């Protein structure tokens, strides 16, 4: 976590003269803020590794005084590259979510967006297609202190039975059948300043990625209960034929922007 914060600080911080920071520049700044001297090469080896040719990369270990100086520097309000609370968290996967929240925060926002616990609960979806039933449960658990939503997704695949009832209300004898497949994913979500929910999920056991985003307005800041969420799921981009004018015109009518390399 400390290495990641140092790497990001060096990569995106500029010096007063407009030049990007070097490891020597970071070392000088740490000395100015904390009074503790450390060489730029020691910082580089701590973050990037002693030798990139070795696998796995062997990182330099720092003494306690140097490590505490780095933490003090990164957590300084002027630098704001790390937070003491982050170091005390017992779920390091949340740090990416917290950093994304900070990045999305706008100057006109008073604070980070922290959705209400009203989102807590289990949401159900069922899709019947090509002789199969995909029954999915999405379980949300809001951490109101940091604004991160923990997400668990379980999808069970059944053969079509002809029954009109949803899987969740089948009779016990039908529901007790083992599904053909069970796919479990875990991840987290955040609320954006634009009142959207962005989900980042990893499928077990191979940690394949997929994403959810809210595509219908939902007042998840109110105190009223929420009975429906409408999401768009994505993993790989949709395929489209080259030079298809009809597709191009349709996309433009929907207000979808297409980037062109220049």
> What is the DSSP annotation of 165-231?
S-GGGS-HHHHTSPPSEEEEEEEEEEE-TTS-EEEEEEETTTTEEEEEEE-S---TTSSS------E
Arithmetic mean of pLDDT, 126-136 = 82
Claim to verify: residue 180 and residue 236 sit in the same structural domain: yes
Claim to verify: residue 216 and residue 156 sit in the same structural domain: yes
Claim to verify: residue 98 and residue 224 sit in the same structural domain: yes
Residue 108, pLDDT > 50, answer yes
At 81 the pLDDT is 86
Q: How confident is the model at residue 234 (pLDDT cuts 50, 70, 90)?
A: confident
Question: Helix or strand or coil: residue 30?
Answer: helix
**Total residues found in the chain within this entry:** 262
Give the contacts of 163 (CB within 8 A, at least 6 positions apart).
Answer: 170, 174
Q: 61, 88, 115: which is the final residue of a domain? A: 88
Give percent above pLDDT 90 in the chain: 21
Domain count, the chain: 2
Using an 8 Å Cβ cutoff, are 72 and 82 in contact?
Answer: no
Claim to verify: residue 78 and residue 97 sit in the same structural domain: no
CB atoms closer than 10 angstroms to residue 1: 13
Which of 206, 190, 198 is CA-nearest to residue 102? 190
Q: How confident is the model at residue 80 (pLDDT cuts 50, 70, 90)?
A: confident
Claim to verify: residue 143 and residue 238 sit in the same structural domain: yes
How are the residues of the chain apportioned to helix, strand and coil, as percentages rounded to the nearest 5?
Answer: 30, 25, 45
Lowest-pLDDT choice from 15-29, 123-137, 211-225: 211-225
Residue 76, pLDDT > 70, answer yes
Claim to verify: residue 110 and residue 184 sit in the same structural domain: yes
Lowest-pLDDT choice from 109-118, 238-247, 251-260: 251-260
Claim to verify: residue 176 and residue 199 sit in the same structural domain: yes
Q: What is the mean pLDDT of the chain?
A: 78
Q: How far, CA to CA in Å, does 208 sit from each of 47, 100, 203, 236?
A: 27, 20, 5, 11
Global pTM exceeds 0.75: no
Claim to verify: residue 45 and residue 147 sit in the same structural domain: no
Element (H, E) at 87: helix 84-88
Residue 56 burial by CB count (10 A; 0-12/13-18/19+): exposed, middle or buried? exposed
Written as six digits, the tokens of 189 are 């979500």
Query: Which of 138-147, 159-168, 246-255: highest mean pLDDT?
Result: 138-147
Q: How confident is the model at residue 32 (pLDDT cuts 50, 70, 90)?
A: very high
At 164 the pLDDT is 61
Claim to verify: residue 219 and residue 107 sit in the same structural domain: yes
Arithmetic mean of pLDDT, 7-20 = 79
Give the contacts of 20 (CB within 8 A, at least 6 positions apart).
Answer: 10, 11, 13, 14
Query: Which of 119-128, 171-180, 223-232, 244-253: highest mean pLDDT?
Result: 119-128
Q: How far, CA to CA in Å, does 23 sit from each of 28, 82, 211, 213?
A: 9, 18, 36, 38
Q: 25, 57, 88: which is the final residue of a domain? A: 88
At 28 the pLDDT is 92
Residue 171, pLDDT > 50, answer no
Arithmetic mean of pLDDT, 16-31 = 86
Claim to verify: residue 15 and residue 68 sit in the same structural domain: yes
Claim to verify: residue 198 and residue 243 sit in the same structural domain: yes
């Amino acid at each position: 976590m400390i290495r990641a914060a140092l790497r990001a600080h060096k990569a995106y911080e500029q010096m007063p003269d407009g030049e990007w920071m070097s490891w020597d520049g970071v070392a000088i700044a740490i000395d100015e803020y904390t009074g503790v001297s450390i060489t730029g090469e020691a910082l580089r080896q701590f973050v990037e590794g002693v030798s990139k040719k070795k696998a796995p990369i062997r990182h330099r270990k720092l003494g306690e005084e140097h490590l505490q100086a780095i933490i003090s520097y990164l957590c300084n309000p002027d630098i704001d590259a790390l937070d003491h609370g982050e170091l005390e968290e017992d779920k390091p996967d949340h740090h990416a979510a917290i950093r994304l929240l900070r990045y999305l925060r706008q100057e006109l926002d008073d604070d980070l967006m922290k959705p209400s616990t009203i989102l807590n609960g289990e949401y159900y979806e069922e899709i019947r297609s090509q002789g199969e039933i995909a029954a999915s449960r999405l379980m949300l658990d809001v951490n109101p202190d940091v604004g991160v939503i923990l997400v668990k997704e379980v999808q069970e695949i059944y053969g079509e039975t002809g029954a009109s009832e949803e899987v969740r209300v089948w009779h016990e004898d039908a529901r007790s059948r083992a599904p053909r497949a069970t796919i479990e994913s875990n991840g987290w979500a955040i609320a954006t300043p634009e009142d959207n929910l962005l989900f980042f999920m990893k499928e077990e056991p191979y940690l394949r990625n997929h994403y959810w985003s809210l595509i219908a307005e939902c007042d998840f800041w109110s105190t009223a209960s929420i009975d429906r969420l409408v999401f768009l799921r994505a993993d790989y981009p949709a395929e489209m034929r080259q030079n298809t004018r009809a597709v191009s015109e349709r996309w433009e009518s929907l207000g979808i922007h297409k980037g062109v390399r220049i």
